[in-house]
Structure formats: structure tokens, C-alpha cells
Amino acid sequence: MQAAIAPAPHTPAPGDHDYAVTGIDSRKLGMWGFLASECLFFGALISSHLLYRARAPQGVKLPHDVYDIPYTSVSSFVLLMSSLTMVLALAAIQRGDHRRLRLWLLATAFLGTVFIGGQVYEFTTFTHHGVNLSSSVAASSFFLLTGFHGVHVTVGILWLMSLVGISLRGQLPAEKHLQVEIAGLYWHFVDVVWILIFTVVYLVPNHH
Amino acid sequence: MAVAVTQAPARPFARPKSEHGFWSWISTVDHKRIGILYGVTAFLFFLVGGTEALLIRLQLAGPNGKILTAEEYNQLFTMHGTTMIFLVVMPTAAAFGNYFVPILIGARDVAFPRLNAFGYWAFLAGGLFLYSSFLLGGAPDGGWFGYAPQTIGKFNPGHGIDFWLIGLIITGIGSLTAAANFIVTTLNLRAPGMTLMRMPVFVWMNLVVSFLLLFAIPVITVALFELFFDRHFGSNFFNANLGGDPVLWQHLFWLFGHPEVYILILPAMGIVSEVLPVFSRKPLFGYSVVVFSGIAIGFMGWGVWAHHMFAVGLGPVANSAFAASTMFIAVPTGVKIFNWLATTWGGDLRLKTPMLFALGFIGEFTIGGLSGVTHSIVPSDYQQTDTYYVVAHFHYVLFGGAILGLFAGVYYWFPAVTGKLLDEKLGKIHFWLIIIGLNLTFGPMHILGLQGQPRRTYQYPKGMGWEMWNGIETLGAFIIALSILVFIVNALKTARSKEMAPPDPWDARTLEWTIPAPPPAYNFAEIPVVHARDDFWHRKYTEDENGRLVRIPAGGADEASGVTEHGGGGTTTAEHDDHGDGHGHGIHMPSPSYFPALAGLGIFIIGYGAIYHWWIGAIGGLILLAGIFGWGNEPLAEEH
Amino acid sequence: MADTEISGDTPGPPGDATGAVATEEAPATPELGAAPGHDPLLHQGLEHHHPSPVKYVGIAVLLAIITSLEVAIYYINMPDGLMVAFLLVLAILKFSLVAAFFMHLKFDSPMLRRVFIAGIILAGVVYTVALLTLRVLV
């Protein structure tokens, strides 16, 4: 009596757990809704920074004065590449290659960790130059924005590692590729936010 | 209940199975039970918020009030506003949404049942967290709007504001998850034939509200974090002395705050749109227009926020732009009012309690809307802002509007939830008392405001000529309290009564009346197939050549969908399924789970960690992680 | 599962479903090898389509190139307005590439695009207006 979820495609009936009038899996639709709300979240943080980026007391350095663009370009590149490894992980599970899935997931988590490590180093350097959360509103808004972004990346890393664990337990078969896809959507979004931050915060001129 | 024959190997913390008793409520993922949790909790907060209002009114009954100090007064009006908005109106709408949206669209549950439960626990956690402030050094006193710089550390030491900030972050998380859940549920789980334009208006309004929440909650969340960081980590977002700008707070707050008022009113408008047709025995006039107006209000609500900031000094260009947009938003609102009136026009009106409250909504909300329009004229607003005129406006729309609309929902849907009707006589007494009370309380505030009585002020001096109206307002507030007492008596009396209502007691139009009351866990024995808007009505009635209603004889029901025109379907399910849990039909509902509540507990504890010691937060964090991991690892439904 | 039978005369899934009706199912097909001459863009609109790994690497290379271009522009002396314009265009390009290909928006149901873009546009508009009133971005 059960609708068989077998290799043949199955059309969900009302009451089935995967019934979806729009044709989009509910979890996927839910994640995109969440990502849309995150645009408002990061938008507020970016706007706060745009308002304050040039404001510091006399003689106090702005974040802009201490940026190391080549360094941040490299860490941006690292995060970009992590999106590549993420999508390769998804491709792997879609073709049933679990070894590669875990490999690419680990690579993504690794690159994410390198990115976070890079940020930690970068922020420590800034602090040595007198640019910290309370030195100026410019710095406050910089650190809050990049800090929240970093928290998002960290949550993503934990999520990816959990998927590796689930896969190792044999509980992530190819049919459950959506779980990887959804983690991927979150990860790519976090990358996309950084694309914006790198450009708007670091590169856009701040002449005051 | 069905005994499990095969079980998963016994684990130290076994998945809850019970359907009765205290723990079954902690672990429920049934949208109906979650709706009841929201509703009961919100009502308790309503009593608390109402008590706060009565204390305020006692203080202001006469000049130079001595009942409260200024600080106590500030805490009370802050908590009154914060409670009524975040802990009463929003969760009551969530209660109705949770209980009825799945049923109204012909579904068995929401898209994410455990996330749904989590939303309730986050609400409860945030509310309790906020109220614990009274015991931990004092409640927040910065108003429900928390304007900087009054709320930054230098001017507001102590933890009150922090309880406000974190309490709202926590409830915000709950609202956000609930919103995402409702959007996916409404788009994806509609029964066959239930197109978007056949959905009941309440479902539509809930959908618009969910999008508003989805986009507005993140904005206030950023503001709350920025202020928290100002207070604890030395940032200066809102400290003008060090480059910060208090106006940024206002922008972020009102970017959330204005959509928020539509979040507060649209569900009540949805309820009114359900009640009027039933008690006029006519379809809603201009369904599409009402729906599109609701959507328009949702869109336009994003374009008016700075009308809360006319006196801040944004300049004539900004002020004019926002004045224009504010005037425009009156249009879709007015459209709805006309459609509601047209619905009742020529209808066979039955003035039962739900209908009285719905009609009351129209009258009172219109008054509030009119004063709102006067605010949109900037020079006029310069006079009105920060006076009791504003207090009059928003209480007419929120109390005369949202609260009356929500009470209409309570009386209307009480039989659908419990199978019993609330007492009509007591209901009418409640209604008339509340109408008298609210108009006595809030009506004179228009006058006092224009005479200059400032808001948010704990005392007024003798000799301003304000004594009489203030006294009348206090009397009115106690009449409101009396009306609520009548309601409580009604509810208790009905709870104890054994008298069950007939099925479909209101002779209604929509799907919630086609299932037994109280409904079984799975809602529908068979998912209905929908052929029209107000499908249930069309199964019961057709029209003769003169346009008069003709009842369709028994047996004319669509058997395939399991819906009978007696609106019960009771016999069929009772034969197979004594426990209402679906086993006789092979229906698998999601299994109960502790993890949503556990995650809520974790967040609750993190809140204290943020205020007191980081290691408390760490403990909360571990509990939260345990909740999330457990949740992620368990299947939605256990096989039996 | 519910033992519902949908009788013959009832409508199928409501007509307002956008995109393909069937949910995405993933049989373990080896379709994702780098098949030569196989252009994924020919199959626009079908949910099941995914660019090959080679295409993904190509996108990643493109992203790296654009990033280098951004950094190069940063070091070139030019009027601020011009630099901001270039940088924003490039950032939007990178954003779109990740969203369209890595996040698969180009090939998925239009509803997902609409939901996401709604968030972006709303954020763009309201924050721009707010910043304008604060005399930023004059």
C-alpha cells in the first residue's frame, strides 16, 4: 500500500511527506525563504557600515587604514573555491559516489576553516593597530558585519562536518542528496555575502 | 493507544509516544496542540499586560499620581506595550494560524512540524525571559521601541534593557521560523483543487503576514544586536558622542516596526473576512479585491516607516515622500472596509457573538484608521506626535481592531476546537462591556492629546484641565477588565459543561467545519478535493432561479473526499479509529519529539549567559546543540 | 501513507504550480561525468539538469579571474565614481554566477528565484532610502 520510493520517479499524493503543490521540495523552498530573509539581515549590517565607515575620532585609525588587500583577496579566493568544492560534493552524491562526497565536503569545511583562521589573524592584526570593536563606529560596524558573517561560516562548517559524519554512518544515500543540496545553498549564500562584503567594505574607496 | 509491536532498540532517551498528560504537551508536534499552547499562553500574557495597563490607568486617574514612581511607571508602560504586541497579539494570531491554516487548506499538518513546535518554545522562552527581569533587577524601561540614547549603557545601566533586547531576539527567532513554516505550508500542502484564489482569506492574510515577518524580523534583530553590543562590548552604534547616530536605531526599528503593525492587524482582518460571510449567509464581497488589498498593504507597508520619524529632522523631502506613501496606504485598507460592508449589505444577518465582534472591529478600526490618516499630514503630526492623540490612534486600531478581531475568532472557532459553543448571553455581555470600555478608555485620549497631554509620562500636574477625561479613561479601563472577567467566566463555564454543539453549528463555509470537533490528529480521514471557493458551502447549498438558497438533500456529498454535508465525517472515523490517531487508516503522522523544546530551553539559557556569565551561555549552547543534533538525527515519524 | 484515491473527474495538482510537478528525484545515474560535446544549457527549464563538474570548475575559474580584476581595479588610479561602478558590476556578476550555477537557480523553478530576488530588492530599496535620509550615498 505504500507508495514505493524506488528508482522510478514517483508523484507524491496529498498526505505524502513529500507532497508539494509547487513542485519544489518543502525543505528547499524553506531554505530559499530563509536566505531571502538573510538578505535583510546582512543588508542592515552592511548599511550600518556604509553609514559609519568614515567615522572615527581624531587620530584614531579607520579599518580602511589598516586593510591588507592582497591578504584579504587570498582569503576571499579561498572562500570562493570552497563554493566549488561544495558543488562538487553535491555532484558526487547525485551520482552515488560517497567517497568523493565526503572528500569534497571535508575540503569545503577545510577551506572554510582556513578562511575563518585567516579572519582571526586579520582581526588580531587590526587590533594591534588600534582598530577594534570600540575604537570607532567605523570599526564597530566593520567587526559586527564580518563577525556575524564569520559566525555564519562557522555554523556552516559544523553543518558540513555533521553531514560527513552521517555519511560515514551510511545514513546519507544518494536519494537523500537534497540534504547536501540544502547545506550547499546555505554555504553558497554565505560565500555570496562575502563577495559583497569584500567589494563594498574592502575595495570601495573610503575617502574622508 | 496502539501498542507498538516492533520498536527501535531501547535507547536511553526514548522517543516520546504518549498522547496524554503533561509530557505529551512538551513533546507535541501536532499543529492543533501547538495552536492551543500559543493561545493559552498568549491569553495569560494578555491578563498580565492588562494588569499593567490598569496600574498605569490608576496612576493617571488623577493629577500628580503617587501610586507609581517614575521608574516603575516607565517599566510598566514598556512591559505593557512589549507584552501586548509580542506576547499577546502576535501569538494569538499564531494560535489561530497554527490551528486552522492546515485544516483550511485541506492538509494534515504544517510542512515542518518540529520547527513549528520550536517556534512556540522560542515564544515561551522569550516571554518568560523578558518577565524574569522583574525579579532580576527590574524590567526594561525604555519603551517598547527602545530609542537610543535612552537605552545605551551610559544612560541605562542595569539589566532591564538587556532583558528586553535578548527577549525580543529570542521571540524573533520563533516568529521567523514560524513564518518560513507557514509560507511553505501554504504554498506546498494545499489539497487538490485548492488553488490560491480558492483559499480562505484568513489563510491569505496569514501568508502575507508570514512574508512580512520573514523580511522584517531580521531588521530588528540587527538593531537589537547593535544596541546590545553598544551596552556590553563598547561599540558606539547609537552613541552620538563617539560618532554614532540614534537615528539609525529609529530607521532600523521602524523598518521593522511598521510592517509589524500590519503583522498585527492582517490576521484579525482575515478573521473578520471569514466571520462576516458566515453570519450574513453571503459570500465575501469582492474576494479577489480583498486578497489583493491585503497583498498591497503588505508591499506598501515597507514604504511608510519614517512616518514614525516626522519630528526627527529628516528634512522636508523625506517627510513629504513618506507622508504621501502613508496617505496612499489608506486606500487598500479602505477598500477592505467597503468590501466588508458590502458583504453584510442585503445579507441574512445573524448577530451572534462572533458577528458582533467582527462588526465592532469594522467600526472601531475605522476610527483608528481615520486618526492614522491625520498623522500622515506632517504639520498635523508635529502637534500630535508624542501626545495621547497617538496613544488613542494605536489603541483604536490595536484594541478596537486586532483584539476585537481576535475575540471574533475565539467565539467563532471555539466550537471547532472544543466541540462546544461559548455561552451566547455571556458573549454578548462581554461584547457590549468591551465596546463601552474601550471607547471610554481610548476615545477621550484624542481630546487630551490635542490638549497637550504628553505620552510616556508618569504624572501630569493639576490645573491642566485633564483630570476629568483621565478619570473617565481609568473607569473605562476597569470596564474592559470586567468584560474580560465575563469572558473568563464564560470559558470556564463552557469548559465544565457537558453540552456539545451540533456539527457545523454556524452553518459555515469552509473546511474546518467538515471534520469532527475536536478534530482527530490527522485532521482529514481522506484529504478533501476542492472544487470551489467556500467549497463546503457549495456542497450544502445551491441557488434556485430566484437566487434563493436551497439546501442540497442528504447524500449529495462528495463521498470520494470523505466529506459529508453533515460536516462531521464522525461516524466513519469513529468506526475505524477510536484514538483519532490515524492508525485505522494507515495514516502516519509525525511522531512527538522533545528536541524542539530542548532547543528552546538551550536558547533560554543562552540568554542568561549573555547577561551574566559566558559559561552559562556555553551550557545553554550545548543544550541547544544537543537539541539540534537530536532533531536532525531522528526521523520525522517513527515506524510502528 | 494516506490511502486516498483521487477520483477521475477531479483536477490534478492545482494549475498554479510553477515549474515541474514531480519533485526532484535522484536515481544514481552516472550522468555527471564530463561527457564531451554535452552542453547542459540546451536543457534549460528541466529540473533534473546539472552542469558537469568541468563546467563548475570553469565557473570557479571565472570567479577567480573576476576577483583578480577587482583587485587590479582597486590599484588603478581613477575617479571614485568610476571605480565604484566597476567594482559593483563585477561583484554583481560574481554574485549572479554563484547564484545561477552553484545554487542552481538558473535551472530551478522560477518561484525560488522570485523569493530570493524579492529579498534582495526589498533590502536594496529600503536600505538605500534609509541611507539617503541619513545623507549617505548622496
For the segment B16-43, what is each residue's pLDDT rounded down to a tens digit?
776 788 999 999 999 999 999 999 999 9
> CB within 8 A of B56, min separation 6: which ones?
B68, B73, B76, B77, B80
Q: What is the DSSP string of B518-580?
A: SPPTTS-SS-----STTHHHHHHEEE-TTS-EEEPPTT-S-GGGT--TTS--HHHHHHH-TTS
Write out pLDDT tens, residues B225-272.
999 999 999 999 999 988 999 999 999 999 999 999 999 999 999 999
Strands (E), B173-285: none
Q: What is the mean pLDDT of chain C?
A: 74
* Predicted confidence band of residue C39 (pLDDT cuts 50, 70, 90): very low
**Dist CA A108 CA A25 (whole Å):** 25
Using CB atoms, which residue from B195, B255, B586 is nearest to C3?
A: B586
Enter the C-alpha cell of residue B266.
492582517
Taking every pair of Cα atoms in chain B, the longest distance, rounded to a whole number of angstroms, is 80
Q: Which of B187, B189, B217 to mutate to test the interface with C (most CBs of C within 10 A)?
A: B187
d(CA B80, CA B102): 32
Closest partner residue to B318 (CB to CB) among C3, C122, C133 is C133
d(CA B267, CA B409): 10
Confidence of residue B635 (pLDDT cuts 50, 70, 90): confident
Say if residue C38's pLDDT is above 60.
no
Q: CB–CB of B454/B387 below 8 Å?
A: yes
Take residue B571 and report the three cell numbers written for it. Answer: 461516524
Q: pLDDT per residue over B468-481, tens digit each?
A: 999 999 999 999 99
The domain limits of chain A are 26-203
Q: Helices A98-128 and A137-168, interaxial angle, to 10°? A: 160
Amino acid identity for residue B520 in this structure: P
Residues forming a β-bridge with B454? B387
Query: Cα–Cα distance between B359 and A189 in angstroms, integer?
Result: 47
* Inter-CA distances, B3 with B97, B415, B583, Å: 33, 31, 11
Cα of C116 to nearest chain A Cα, Å: 5
| Contacts C73 to A, Cβ<8 Å | 203
Range in B56-60, B376-380, B545-549 with the lowest mean pLDDT: B545-549
Average pLDDT of the residues in B591-619 = 96
Q: Which band of pLDDT confidence, cut at 50, 70 and 90, is reported for residue B639?
A: low
Measured distance CA(A54)–CA(A43) in Å, rounded? 18
- What is the rounded distance in angstroms from the CA atom of residue A52 to the CA atom of residue A55? 5
Grid cell, residue B143, equals 519603551
CATH homologous superfamily for the domain B30-503:
Cytochrome c oxidase-like, subunit I domain (1.20.210.10)
Write out the H or E segment, with its range, that includes residue B297: helix B287-300
What residues of A are in contact with residue B215 (Cβ under 8 Å)? 36-37, 40
Q: Which residue has the cell 453549528?
A: B505
Query: Residue C33 gets which letter from DSSP?
Result: S
Smallest Cα distance from C126 to chain B, Å: 7
* Rounded distance between C-alpha atoms, residue B277 and residue B344, angstroms: 7
Dist CA C113 CA A32 (whole Å): 9
Residue C26 reports pLDDT greater than 80: no
Asked if pLDDT for residue B302 goes beyond 60, the answer is yes
CATH of domain A26-203: 1.20.120.80
| B166/B620 Cα distance (integer angstroms) | 14
Q: Is the peptide bond before B149 cis (omega within 30 degrees of 0)?
A: yes
Indicate the DSSP class of residue B398: I
Instruction: Summarize the confidence of residues B411-433 as an average pLDDT.
Output: 98
Cα–Cα distance for residue pair C86/A204, rounded to 1 Å: 10
Is residue B154 classed as helix, strand or coil in its secondary structure?
coil
B340: pLDDT strictly greater than 50: yes
The whole-chain average pLDDT of chain B stands at: 92
The arithmetic mean of pLDDT across residues B325-329, rounded, is 95
Q: Touching A: which chains, 3+ CB pairs < 8 A?
A: B, C
Task: Tell me what pLDDT residue C17 has.
Answer: 38
In B, minimum Cα distance to A1 occurs at B586
- The CA R_g of chain B, rounded to the nearest whole Å, is 25
- C-alpha cell belonging to residue B286: 469582492
Is B527 in contact with A14 (Cβ distance < 8 A)?
Answer: yes
**Could you write out the three-class secondary structure of A79-92?**
HHHHHHHHHHHHHH
Any bridge partners for residue B551, and if so which? B541
User: Tens digits of per-residue pLDDT, C87-133?
Assistant: 999 999 999 999 999 999 999 999 999 999 999 999 999 999 999 99
Model confidence pLDDT, tens digit, residues A44-80: 999 999 999 999 999 999 999 999 999 999 999 999 9
**pLDDT tier, B584 (very low <50, low <70, confident <90, very high otherwise):** low
Q: Give residue limits of the domains in chain B.
A: 30-503, 511-585
Instruction: Give the pLDDT confidence of B152-200 residue by residue, as tens digits.
Output: 998 999 999 999 999 999 999 999 999 999 999 999 999 999 999 999 9
Q: Cα Rg for chain A, rounded, in angstroms?
A: 21
- Contact of C41 with chain A, judged by CB distance below 8 Å, is answered with no
User: In angstroms, rounded to a whole number, what is the distance separating the alpha carbons of residues B55 and B350?
Assistant: 38
The answer, yes or no, to whether residue C3 has pLDDT greater than 50, is: no
Q: Could you tell me the CA-to-CA distances from A67 to A48, A73, A193, A204 in Å, in that order?
A: 19, 11, 19, 12
Locate all alpha helices (DSSP H) within C33-134, ordered by sequence: 53-75, 80-97, 110-133
Report the pLDDT value the prediction gives residue B582, as an integer from 0 to 100.
Answer: 56
- Distance from A31 to chain B by nearest Cα, in Å? 8
Tell me how far apart the alpha carbons of residues B300 and B259 are, in angstroms, rounded to a whole number. Answer: 9
Question: Any residues with CB less than 8 A from the CB of C102 and at least 6 apart, and which?
Answer: A83, A84, A86, A87, A184, A188, C56, C59
**Stated length of chain B:** 640
Chain CA centroid to CA B494, Å: 24
Q: Which helix (H) or strand (E) holds B504?
A: none
Bridge partners (DSSP) of residue B387 are B454
Collect the ranges in chain A with pLDDT lower than 50.
Answer: 1-6
Best CA proximity match to B35, nearest among B371, B267, B245, B286: B267
Return the top range by mean pLDDT from B548-557, C3-12, C77-86. Answer: C77-86
For chain B, the first-to-last Cα distance in angstroms comes to 12
Q: Which CA distances in Å does B640 have to A3, B187, B583, B636, C71?
A: 17, 30, 10, 13, 60
Instruction: Count CA atoms closer than 13 A to B48's CA, side-chain side.
Output: 23
C-alpha cell at position A40? 535583510
Beta bridge partners of B549: B543
* Cell digits of residue B614: 559566558
∠ CA B450-B453-B456, rounded to 5°: 125
Give the amino acid at A68.
Answer: D
Task: Return the closest-CA partner of residue B355 out of B275, B414, B431, B410.
Answer: B275
Rounded (5°) CA angle B218-B222-B225: 135
Q: What is the 3-state secondary structure (H, E, C) of B32-86?
A: HHHHHHHHHHHHHHHHHHHHHHHHHHHHHCCCCCCCCCHHHHHHHHHHHHHHHHH
Asked if the Cβ–Cβ distance from B529 to C6 is below 8 Å, we say yes
A24, A41, A69, A187, best to mutate vs chain C, most C CBs in 10 Å:
A24
Residue B563 neighbours by CB under 8 Å, 6+ apart: B514, B528, B536, B539, B557, B569
**From CA B160, how far away is CA B231, in angstroms rounded?**
12
Chain A residues near residue B229 by CB distance under 8 angstroms: 133, 140, 144
Kindly state the average pLDDT of the residues B386-402: 98
Q: Do you find a cis peptide bond into B454, omega within 30 degrees of 0?
A: no
C64 Cα to chain A: minimum distance (Å):
7
Would you say B344 and B379 are in contact if contact means Cβ atoms under 8 Å apart?
Answer: no
Question: Where are the strands (E) in B532-602, listed by range?
Answer: 541-543, 549-551
Rounded Cα gap, residues B238 and B240, in angstroms: 6
Among the partner residues B251, B527, B531, nearest to C2 by beta-carbon distance: B527
Q: Which of B102, B94, B117 is nearest to B27 (CA)?
A: B117
Whether residue B571 has pLDDT greater than 50: no
The residue in chain C having the minimum alpha-carbon distance to the alpha carbon of residue B183 is C115
The type of residue at C15 is: G
